[in-house]
Structure 1
Amino acid sequence: MGDIEITFEDTTKLQEYGKVPIAFTVHSILEVNQLRNGLGGLILEEVPVEKSYCVDFDSEKENGPERWLKRWDTENWGVIAAFDQKKRIGGAVIAYDTPGVNALEGRRDIAALWDIRVDYDYRSRGIGSAIFLKCIEWCRYRKCKLLKIECQNDNVRACKFYAKQGALLGEVNLYAYPDKPDISRLTWYSKL
């Protein structure tokens, strides 16, 4: 990783944080196959999509770092930043102890990895793993027992990344997105 610095920030830096792109191209999805209507378990099978497409969460309504400040009280949130010299190249945002954030389930022993991103030119260099480790450190300091990570089955690269970090797939919701019926929510958990 060379001279990459991973550091803690607060949410006043979200505007700068949001300048690192989060968009990714979907070439395949993790198809959720239910065995015996789910009684026999689930199998996730990576299958190519008919036509590749781009997902950019920052461009979606109510999404993006600057909008989070308007939507939630982010006082308890953490920001992890990755820099190459003075250039911001990635980071993560962690939600914690925030009323109205459903992912936290009203619990103070769960934090949610709200967002993680690495600049295109720096991907596949171990920077995401270093950022993830800082997230774990941040959560442990707050005595959290779980780091919850919501992902979608069309973000295969992210799902493989979370599994590589030791996260366990804890929930599959086939019907989480009424406006996107072909997309399932996969919720990962890192035990702290």
Structure 2
Amino acid sequence: MIDIKQIDKSYLPIYDTIPMLVRVESEYAVEPIDGGLGGFLFQLKEVTTPYTKDLGKYEKPSKYEERFDISNWAFFIAFDTDKPNPDGSGPLAVGAITLVGRTPNVDMLDRRDDLAVLWDIRVREESQRLGLGTKLFTTAVRWARKQGFRQLKIEAQNNNIAACRFYRKQGALLGGLNRYAYYDDPDIRGDVQLLWYLDL
């Protein structure tokens, strides 16, 4: 049985333990038409060598407070009450989600007070494809509406096909892309940032 709880920062080390792995077997090749003036062509292509991305190395929730004021952030963890944590401290954390709003110095918020960002969502691999992602997303939307936000913004990458299809299924629309968002990181320099928006 899954129990989704809103948590405070004392639970963030538990949040950290939930892996954020993405299996990449295909990607959207994004090609500009007429230098971008004619739009962009998305083509789904298989990658030459499939691989797994560990997005958890970029996102450590327990470290957020070192960089940001998280007083207006919301954190939720999904616990599987039928599975004990290996250290015996309680039920196993199988999924989590972070929402950000009304926080200075967060570029993703575009200086808007009516915009929330789905900053992080993760589900353990063995708990995927069971509807948990949808439950977490629904929790996020409910929270954002209650806080008075008008839109939810979500970041994904062109090689995270499952995430892109998931956000589209939830009703989000692709509202922007940045081919150079990760240019400073040689490991992911070729990734294209895709920005999804859901009207609330």
TM-score between both structures, scaled by the size of structure 2:
0.89
Residues 9 and 62, structure 2, Cα contact 8 Å, conserved in 1: no
More displaced stretch, 6-15 vs 158-167: 6-15
Work out the CA distance in 1 between the residues paired with 2:141 and 2:196.
Answer: 14
Q: How many residue pairs were aligned? A: 188
Work out the CA distance in 2 between the residues paired with 1:43 and 1:161.
Answer: 20
Check if 1:78 corresponds to 2:77. Answer: no
Work out the CA distance in 1 between the residues paired with 2:45 and 2:147.
Answer: 39
Could you say which residue in structure 1 is the equivalent of 2:5? 7
Query: Aligned letter for 1:76?
Result: N
Partner of residue 138 from structure 2, selected from 123, 129, 133: 133
Cα deviation, 1:14-38, whole Å, max 9, x if unaligned, reads 1111111001221111111233333
TM-score between both structures, scaled by the size of structure 1:
0.92
> Could you say what the CA RMSD is over the residues aligned between the two structures, in angstroms?
1.4
Change (3 A) 1:162 1:141: same
Residues 95 and 123, structure 2, Cα contact 8 Å, conserved in 1: yes
Could you say which residue in structure 1 is the equivalent of 2:96? 91
Residues 81 and 92, structure 1, Cα contact 8 Å, conserved in 2: yes
Work out the CA distance in 2 between the residues paired with 1:11 and 1:171.
Answer: 31
Work out the CA distance in 2 between the residues paired with 1:188 and 1:9.
Answer: 26
Pairwise CA distance, 1:40 = 2.9
Could you say which residue in structure 2 is the equivalent of 1:65? 61
Could you say which residue in structure 1 is the equivalent of 2:123? 118
Query: Percent identity among equivalent residues?
Result: 37
Work out the CA distance in 1 between the residues paired with 2:119 and 2:69.
Answer: 14
Consecutive unaligned residues of structure 2, counting only runs of 5 or more, are 82-90
Could you say which residue in structure 2 is the equivalent of 1:18? 16
Consecutive unaligned residues of structure 1, counting only runs of 5 or more, are none
